[in-house]
């Protein structure tokens, strides 16, 4: 079968949230499901592995009745990933306040919380893609008082056999400098196929360092990874409880010669899922939700609360916060691959 794109309405009962999704098919039994109205979230990815249909992306049980923008699929975190302390920061002589939406913090940016526009799509031999766009001050006008500069994020989801790529373009349409960070928060299912239900899912994150955290916020100090949480070799997820910000990734490109492995999951003797990204994604959050139905390997271009860490000068290593000049155009890629 050739690659294809189709639309489908989800069984969604929430008012004012368009239930239409875009489904990409690679022609080899693989599909990716993108929900533009839920922050252009990829809420599903299935692919063939040795004749088995793997179901890789977790969906919260309430996704279609009470959807949360950050509990399912692959939430896109922009213009900042994770938390900002007290929802406040200073930039260029101004103090900004953000909505408090997680404890005493603001979390996961703006882009995941509003509908995106589909701006292009296409198919070729063995691949299908769709591009969505989020324009900060246009699609979310209240953020013009909350962020120093306007911002545009275009994201292309590209499906090939055994691979799903996320190609981001960040543009600064403002006449002033844009500070930003980009992150992804994929929820990978703990059980991909019935044949592996009794096998231990293992994780590997080849990071040498960890940001010291207090109440999930970095102090600015960087320490060697604690031995009890050392994931440099394959480790069963069964005995791990993680919500850690790791860095110092092994900077070795994969076989494509472009992307670096941020982390990986596998069933011993079975399939391996690798999370790959451009080296600009220098930090990765590893999170094991309490229900154990999923695990998160989250590539970030900047550390949690980077905009405050930069201002106070407490970082022992670069935070990763990016400053795009007026008219600036930045590209960054992340991908998932099954082998």
Does pTM top 0.95 for this prediction?
Answer: yes
Phi, psi of 224 (to 5 degrees): -60, 145
CATH number of 188's domain = 2.70.98.10
Structure tokens at 268: 């011993």
Q: Which domain holds residue 235?
A: 4-338
Taking the alpha carbons at both ends of the chain, their separation in whole angstroms is 21
Alpha-carbon span 94 to 142, nearest angstrom: 17
Structure tokens at 130: 């769709």
pLDDT tier at 13, thresholds 50, 70, 90: confident
226-245: pLDDT as tens digits: 998 899 999 999 989 999 99
Task: Say how many domains are in the chain.
Answer: 1
| Residue 55 CB burial class (10 angstroms; 0-12, 13-18, ≥19) | middle
Would you state the pLDDT for residue 11?
82
DSSP letter at 51?
T
Task: Return the CA Rg of the chain.
Answer: 19
Would you state the pLDDT for residue 228?
87
Alpha-carbon distance values, 316 to 76, 92, 218, 320 (Å)? 27, 22, 11, 12
Alpha-carbon span 32 to 25, nearest angstrom: 7
Q: Where are the alpha helices (DSSP H) in the chain?
A: 136-139, 306-312
Q: In terms of residues, how long is the chain?
A: 339
Alpha-carbon span 65 to 107, nearest angstrom: 22
Q: Assign 286 to helix, strand or coil.
A: strand
135-161: pLDDT as tens digits: 999 999 999 999 999 999 999 999 999
Specify the DSSP element, H or E, that contains 307. Answer: helix 306-312
91-142: pLDDT as tens digits: 999 999 999 999 999 999 999 999 999 999 999 999 999 999 999 999 999 9
Specify the DSSP element, H or E, that contains 5. Answer: strand 4-9
């Amino acid at each position: 079968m050739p690659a294809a794109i189709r639309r489908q309405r989800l069984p969604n009962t929430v008012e004012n949230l368009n239930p239409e999704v875009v489904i990409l098919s690679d022609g080899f039994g693989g599909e990716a499901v993108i929900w533009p109205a839920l922050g252009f979230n990829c809420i599903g990815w299935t692919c063939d592995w040795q004749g088995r249909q793997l179901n890789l992306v977790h969906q919260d049980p309430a996704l279609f009745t009470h959807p949360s923008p950050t509990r399912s699929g692959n939430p896109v975190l922009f213009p900042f990933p994770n938390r900002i302390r007290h929802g406040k920061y200073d930039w260029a002589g101004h103090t900004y306040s953000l909505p408090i939406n997680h404890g005493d913090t603001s979390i996961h940016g703006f882009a995941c919380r509003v509908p995106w526009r589909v701006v292009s799509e296409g198919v070729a031999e063995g691949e299908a893609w769709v591009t969505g766009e989020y324009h900060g001050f246009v699609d979310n006008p209240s953020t013009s008082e909350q962020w120093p500069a306007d911002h545009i994020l275009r994201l292309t989801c590209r499906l090939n056999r055994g691979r799903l790529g996320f190609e981001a373009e960040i543009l600064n349409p403002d006449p002033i400098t844009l500070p930003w960070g980009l992150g992804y928060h994929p929820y990978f299912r703990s059980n991909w196929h019935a044949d592996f239900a009794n096998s231990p899912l293992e994780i590997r994150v080849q990071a040498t360092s960890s940001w010291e955290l207090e109440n999930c916020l970095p102090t600015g100090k960087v320490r060697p990874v604690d031995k009890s949480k050392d994931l440099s070799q394959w480790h069963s997820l069964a005995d791990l409880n993680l919500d850690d910000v790791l860095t110092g990734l092994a900077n070795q490109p994969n076989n494509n010669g472009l992307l670096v492995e941020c982390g990986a999951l596998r069933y011993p003797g079975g399939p391996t899922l690798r999370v790959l990204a451009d080296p600009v994604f220098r930090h990765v959050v590893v999170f094991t939700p309490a229900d154990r139905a999923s695990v998160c390997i989250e590539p970030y271009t900047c550390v949690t609360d980077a905009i405050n860490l930069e201002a106070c000068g407490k970082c022992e290593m670069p935070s990763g916060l990016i400053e795009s000049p007026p008219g600036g155009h930045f590209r960054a890629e992340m991908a998932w691959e099954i082998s």
